[in-house]
Every structure is written in C-alpha cells, then in structure tokens.
Structure 1
Amino acid sequence: MAAYTYIQRAILYPITALRAGTEGIVKVRLFVNSDGQVIQTEIIESTIPLNAEGRDIMLQQARLIMKGLQFVPATGATEEELGINYRIQ
C-alpha cells in the first residue's frame, strides 16, 4: 500500500528517542474530506511511555506524517485509523 511506503520514508527517528531507546506505536485517526485530503488528525493511542525521551516529538511527527497522506477522492468525508511503529532495529 502506498500509504505505508510513504510513512516508512517520512519517519525520522528523533535523536533523543534513539539514544534513550524509546520505542512504541502511535495510532492516529485521520479525518479525510471528499477530495481525499487529510484535514485533521487525532492521536487515539500511544504505547510510548509518558515520560520517555523524544515522546512529544514522536507524537507530533506522527500527526504531521499522517497529515501528508493523500487518499482517493470519495463521495463523502471519511475517517481512517493508521499506526506508526517506532522501533529500533
């Protein structure tokens, strides 16, 4: 799926998170208009620990990455949910 390829290429692991070994999954709800544009994002779940180094940057980046997605135009607005997996390999 093109969305996952875009997400993988767009993720930049924050240096502070990388050094601290911070990992987790961020799930984002996307509000998509009928033109296929993401008009709003909302973090709905995160497994990144609350006080983890780089957490705020990771959440902000997840929202920005998802905002850059483009969907196929539809007859009406839709909601989608996607996740970003921050994992050190």
Structure 2
Amino acid sequence: MNFVLEKDKRIKYHQDMTRCIFRIFKTTKSDEGEYTCQIDDDRGVKTSGYLYVEEPQWRFETKLPLTLEGDENDKIELECSVQDEDAE
C-alpha cells in the first residue's frame, strides 16, 4: 500500500498483514477529496472513495436581543455565545 501524505498530526494510519486503517482526527474542509487504497503489485488493484466534509452548523446558546435602548453616554454591553468552543 502506498501513502502520499503531508505531515499532519491529525492523520494516523496503521497497517497489518491484511488491512490498513486510515484515521483523520478533527476533519477540515481541506480533507475533502478522493482517497485510494491500492495493492502494491503489478496488477494495480485498488479501491477509492470520496470524502465529503460538511461545515458545522453553529447554534447560539445566547442570542442578541432584537432591540436595545440606551441613553446617550450609557454603557451598553452586547453578548452572545455558541454551543461549540470550536466555532469561529
């Protein structure tokens, strides 16, 4: 089996006599694409699959109020929060 991989701590693979396990931890959109496993012999037998990575749908735990009022020189604080700490 051949692997063409860039060094990335998120990617691990393990190979034993009859199988290969390929893992991607914390997938990103850049991981999307075709992946191929090929037997390393003259026949070139292979299997391929396409990985689609969907971007997460972030949800707000706390939303901003629809309307706010304040007097001139007031201190106004707006806060919102999301469920997932990985949200950008």
Q: TM-score, normalised by structure 1?
A: 0.24
Relative contact order (C-alpha < 8 Å, sep 6+): which is higher?
Answer: 1
Higher helix fraction (1 or 2): 1
Q: Based on CA coordinates, which of the two structures has the bigger radius of gyration?
A: 2
